[in-house]
Amino acid sequence: MFDHDRPEEECGIIGIVSKDRKFNAASNIHIGLYALQHRGQESAGIATYQDEYLHIKRGKGLLRDVFKPADFENLSGNVGIGHVRYSTTGSGYAQNVQPILARYWGGMMAISHNGNIVNCKELMEQVVQRGSIVRSSSDTELILHLISIQKERDTLKAILGVLNKLQGAYSMVLIANGKLIGIRDPFGFRPLVLGKIDNGYVISSESAALDVMDAVFEKDIKPGEIIISDGSELKSIDFKKDERNALCVFEYIYFARADSVIDGTSVYEVRKRLGKELARLNNVSADVVIPVPDSGITTAIGFAREADIPFEIGLLKNPYVGRTFIHPGQSERDMRVKLKLNPIRSVVKGKRVAVVDDSIVRGTTSQRIVKLIREAGAREVHMFISSPPITHPCFFGIDTSIKKTLIASRNSVEEIRLFLGVDTLSYMTMEGLSKAAGKSLDELCYACFNGDYPVPVIEDSEEGKLLLEDYRVLEM
Ligand code: SF4
């Protein structure tokens, strides 16, 4: 949240189709995307399809910056897809803003993607060598190119041929031949759900979007499943082979909205159980439990109940301070944390304070938060983190891709404690995490805690960075 000192989600996606040709897909997608704004704040876009034409509006910024009421008159069509983006593979350049459209041998196609293709560089090289002109640096455009060069001239078979080549994380929605297609990779790294509306269907990254779109939850799209619908019929194809499931465990810890249900499990309940588990694993001596808002709130509720210690709001968040420029000076960064969070002195003064947070990436923000709490008069500060130490970068769509920036990759827990300036520092264990999520260790991805990547990745020896060429395009 601050200076990217949290793992950042890459994207949120929505697709909708109705058999009613007067249905305005765009305005419904727009409403749904608001429920996914937490998954990406750098750009937003909606594409719709009508009478063999695609209409699109996309741009940089939040949804409220990109869309104006008049846009929805132009975005006609009963099928559409939408996207909110926080860039990792490919930069935040305008060319990478999604959805991406293309004409191919089957007509017009549009695509929105959440995740990261780890063999992107190798595949991109193949399409360039075959003569394609690549105009963006995103792995999403790569998918369109791969579809276009398939020998198979049936769209669905061509897509299946491409999926065989892709390695990594991808939940995506496409418009092809006027139909809506939803695809979740065989590991199921990113969530994807199917909902029902009158006369049609919705596909979304999270179930919270279905609620605001008045859609009824139908099911989680399974890892390795393709859904195709024209609004009337719904077809499902299973392309999973023997891959294990590997839903990103951070969806439960931090990324997803607490009101979403992922793969049958309520995010809110998992966070509460994480708090309980964290309290059970530690001998907590404190006068008050406070969360780091907003993501630590639910976990702190569970923690306080289990430890039988009063829960209080000890840090107030200013919701009007959005992303700001990253300033180089240390004092500027301190100021930014101060702008976003302010301690409530009466809650922490003279107390032994247990602070509950979800993760520590670089540690700099946590250090500043501790400083604020101490300056407000706390007698002791004990920090409880609901994830294990992040020791490895993520290559599946989360912005923690440089190993040396991860404080736990080069410091012991005791060294981190000293750096943060807390009296005690306690992390969640992998087993505790698995228990709270109600899923076995081999059903989730935990690679950023143990380096056990479900898909092989090539790390740069110096920085632990994915060897992935960024096809940089100068801003127009
Ligand atoms: S490496 Fe970590 S952040 Fe990335 S998908 Fe796996 S659990 Fe999620």
Helix/strand/coil (H/E/C) assignment for every residue in 443-458: HEECHHHHCCCCCCCC
Task: Answer yes or no: do 91 and 173 share one domain.
Answer: yes
Q: Are 238 and 222 in contact (CB under 8 A)?
A: yes
Closest-CA residue to 99 (of 194, 8, 195, 15)? 15
Task: Answer yes or no: do 277 and 396 share one domain.
Answer: yes
Instruction: Return d(Cα 90, Cα 97) in angstroms, integer.
Output: 10
Ligand 1 atom nearest to CA at 444: 7
The region that residue 155 occupies, defined by phi over 0 for left and psi between -120 and 50 for alpha, beta otherwise, is alpha
CATH of the domain at 106: 3.60.20.10
Q: Are 75 and 26 in contact (CB under 8 A)?
A: yes
Q: Is the CB of 248 under 6 A from ligand 1?
A: yes
> Three-state SS for 226?
strand
| Residue type at 58 in one-letter notation | R
Q: Is the CB of 13 under 6 A from ligand 1?
A: no
Task: Answer yes or no: do 122 and 214 share one domain.
Answer: yes
Task: Answer yes or no: do 311 and 182 share one domain.
Answer: no
Instruction: Return d(Cα 361, Cα 366) in angstroms, integer.
Output: 9
Q: Which protein residue's CA is at the shortest distance from atom 4 of ligand 1?
A: 394
Interior angle at CA 43, CA 40 and CA 47, nearest 5: 105
**Residue in this structure with the two tokens 């992040």, named with its chain if needed:** 390
Q: Are 432 and 236 in contact (CB under 8 A)?
A: no
Q: Are 155 and 177 in contact (CB under 8 A)?
A: yes
Q: Is residue 472 part of a domain?
A: no
Residue 11 among the catalytic residues: yes
Ligand 1 atom nearest to CA at 446: 7
Cα 320 to ligand 1 centre (Å):
29
Note the pLDDT of residue 237. Answer: 97
Instruction: Return d(Cα 181, Cα 175) in angstroms, integer.
Output: 6
Q: Is the CB of 406 under 6 A from ligand 1?
A: no
User: Measuring CA to CA, how many Å separate 270 from each of 136, 295, 368, 446?
Assistant: 38, 12, 28, 16
Task: Answer yes or no: do 178 and 327 share one domain.
Answer: no
The region that residue 470 occupies, defined by phi over 0 for left and psi between -120 and 50 for alpha, beta otherwise, is beta
Task: Answer yes or no: do 219 and 306 share one domain.
Answer: no
* pLDDT tens for the 476 residues of the chain, in order: 334 466 665 799 999 999 999 999 999 999 999 999 999 999 999 999 999 899 999 999 999 999 999 999 999 999 999 999 986 555 556 667 899 999 999 999 999 999 999 999 899 988 899 888 887 767 888 999 999 999 989 999 999 999 999 999 999 999 999 999 999 999 999 999 999 999 999 999 999 999 999 999 999 999 999 999 999 999 999 999 999 999 999 999 999 999 999 999 999 999 999 999 999 999 999 999 999 998 899 999 999 999 999 999 999 988 777 654 444 455 666 677 778 899 999 999 999 999 999 999 999 999 999 999 999 999 999 999 999 999 999 999 887 657 888 999 999 999 999 999 999 999 999 999 999 999 998 999 999 999 999 998 876 544 444 444 343 333 33
What are the phi and psi torsion angles at 246 (to 5°)?
-150, 55
Q: Is the CB of 252 under 6 A from ligand 1?
A: no
Token pair belonging to 439: 């899923």
| Pocket probe mutation, ligand 1, options 445, 450, 455, max atoms within 8 Å of Cβ | 445
Q: Is the CB of 188 under 6 A from ligand 1?
A: no
Task: Answer yes or no: do 225 and 296 share one domain.
Answer: no
Note the pLDDT of residue 209. Answer: 98
Q: Is the CB of 471 under 6 A from ligand 1?
A: no
| Residue type at 158 in one-letter notation | A
Q: Is residue 458 part of a domain?
A: no
Cα 394 to ligand 1 centre (Å):
5
Q: Is residue 454 part of a domain?
A: no
Q: Is the CB of 396 under 6 A from ligand 1?
A: yes
Q: Is residue 260 part of a domain?
A: no
Task: Answer yes or no: do 431 and 326 share one domain.
Answer: yes
Which helix or strand (DSSP H or E) is residue 247 part of? strand 247-248
Q: Which protein residue's CA is at the shortest distance from atom 8 of ligand 1?
A: 248
CATH of the domain at 357: 3.40.50.2020
Q: Which protein residue's CA is at the shortest distance from atom 5 of ligand 1?
A: 248
User: Measuring CA to CA, how many Å separate 117 from each of 203, 290, 397, 474?
Assistant: 21, 38, 8, 23
Note the pLDDT of residue 339. Answer: 81
Task: Answer yes or no: do 224 and 330 share one domain.
Answer: no
Q: Are 326 and 335 in contact (CB under 8 A)?
A: no
**Residue in this structure with the two tokens 């609620």, named with its chain if needed:** 211
Note the pLDDT of residue 332. Answer: 64
Q: Is residue 22 part of a domain?
A: yes
Cα 382 to ligand 1 centre (Å):
26
Instruction: Return d(Cα 159, Cα 240) in angstroms, integer.
Output: 14
Task: Answer yes or no: do 175 and 235 share one domain.
Answer: yes
Q: Is the CB of 254 under 6 A from ligand 1?
A: no
Q: Are 30 and 82 in contact (CB under 8 A)?
A: yes
The size of the chain, in residues, is: 476
Token pair belonging to 32: 């749904």
Task: Answer yes or no: do 45 and 174 share one domain.
Answer: yes
Note the pLDDT of residue 55. Answer: 96
Q: Into how many domains does the chain fold? A: 2
Q: Is residue 457 part of a domain?
A: no
- DSSP class of 325: P
Note the pLDDT of residue 399. Answer: 73
Cα 400 to ligand 1 centre (Å):
9
Task: Answer yes or no: do 301 and 363 share one domain.
Answer: yes
Cα 409 to ligand 1 centre (Å):
15
Q: Is residue 230 part of a domain?
A: yes
Q: Is residue 456 part of a domain?
A: no
Instruction: Return d(Cα 159, Cα 109) in angstroms, integer.
Output: 12
What are the phi and psi torsion angles at 263 (to 5°)?
45, 45
Q: Are 220 and 119 in contact (CB under 8 A)?
A: no
| Pocket probe mutation, ligand 1, options 88, 245, 249, 387, max atoms within 8 Å of Cβ | 249
**Range(s) of the domain holding residue 216:** 11-246
Cα 52 to ligand 1 centre (Å):
39
Strand partners, 83: 13, 45
What distance, in Å, lies between the first and last C-alpha atoms of the chain?
28
Last residue of a domain, one of 217, 246, 275: 246
Asked whether the CA dihedral 355, 356, 357, 363 is positive or negative, the reply is positive
Token pair belonging to 101: 């459209």
Token pair belonging to 226: 């393709």
Closest-CA residue to 88 (of 78, 80, 96)? 96
Strand partners, 229: 180, 234
Residue 144 burial class via C-beta count within 10 angstroms: exposed 0-12, middle 13-18, buried 19 and up: buried
Cα 186 to ligand 1 centre (Å):
15
Which helix or strand (DSSP H or E) is residue 182 part of? strand 179-184
